[in-house]
A and B are shown apart, each in its own frame.
Chain A
């Protein structure tokens, strides 16, 4: 059973701080990794994807991938209260090519 693990949180950070969200996965052959943000009662929305080892930056968001350690993370700089949401990590299964989602980490940014 291929898995994607996330700490459920809540992760609380003060406004303006860096929020660090982590995700580990079991499928060593996975090549594609996504971060979705889901506000309470809403649908997931894609915020980042990453395929190569290293960092990928987009505005206040940085995705980090380490395939050797099977670890992907999302950093949110200058966190805002509007960033408070659940962040879902998704990994594409190398065998079936479908998404495997983690259960999400709930982030609270305190004003």
Chain B
């Protein structure tokens, strides 16, 4: 039973390009959460999605960032026109429950995508 799978592990983009980060939840999980970890900072909540629905995007920057979780396939975090400040590690987690609450077992995070904007 594979865990949360993220790819790519490392992504380098030039300023102005687009970055696409993928997250496949654990088997049987239909809820995905994206977090961003800036250098020397804690993890910050970005967005919570269910299949075909965005439940809570209160942590997403208003511009350039979008997320989806289609009926088939992985969840995608998309960053358009990347800037140097977008360089960070992006983690996703998944759960089988219907809230953003970590639950008594906490989250299992994927291995993350480290985005570097040059």
Residues of A within 8 A of B (CB): 4, 8, 32, 34, 36, 41-46, 49, 51, 88, 90, 92, 96-99, 101-104
| Contact digits for B52-63, partner A, Cβ 8 Å, 1 yes 0 no | 000010100000
Is the pair B102, A92 in contact by a Cβ cutoff of 8 Å?
A: yes
Beyond known contacts A34-B102, A44-B43, A44-B91: 10 more, CB 8 A cutoff: A41-B114, A43-B91, A43-B109, A45-B109, A88-B42, A90-B102, A97-B100, A98-B45, A99-B107, A101-B42
CB distance from B80 to the nearest CB of A (A): 25
If A43-B111, A46-B105, A46-B108 touch, whether A96 touches B44 (CB-CB below 8 Å) is no
Give the docked Cα–Cα distance between A36 and B109 (Å). 11
Give the docked Cα–Cα distance between A45 and B106 (Å). 9
Give the docked Cα–Cα distance between A49 and B106 (Å). 8
The residue on B at minimum CB distance from A6 is B42
Give the docked Cα–Cα distance between A106 and B30 (Å). 33
A36 — which chain B residues lie within 8 A by C-beta?
A: 106
Give chain B interface residues in 88-118, CB to chain A under 8 Å.
91, 99-102, 104-112, 114
Main secondary structure of the interface of A (DSSP, over half): loop
The residue on B at minimum CB distance from A42 is B111
Say yes or no: is B41 at the interface (Cβ < 8 Å to chain A). Answer: yes
Is the pair A44, B109 in contact by a Cβ cutoff of 8 Å?
A: yes
A42 — which chain B residues lie within 8 A by C-beta?
A: 111-112
CB distance from B98 to the nearest CB of A (A): 11
If A34-B102, A97-B101 touch, whether A103 touches B42 (CB-CB below 8 Å) is yes
Say yes or no: is B72 at the interface (Cβ < 8 Å to chain A). Answer: no
The CB with the most chain A CB atoms within 10 A, among B45, B58, B105, is that of: B45
Is the pair B106, A98 in contact by a Cβ cutoff of 8 Å?
A: no
If A92-B101, A97-B100, A98-B100 touch, whether A46 touches B106 (CB-CB below 8 Å) is yes
CB distance from A48 to the nearest CB of B (A): 9
| Contact digits for B63-95, partner A, Cβ 8 Å, 1 yes 0 no | 000000000000000000000000000010000
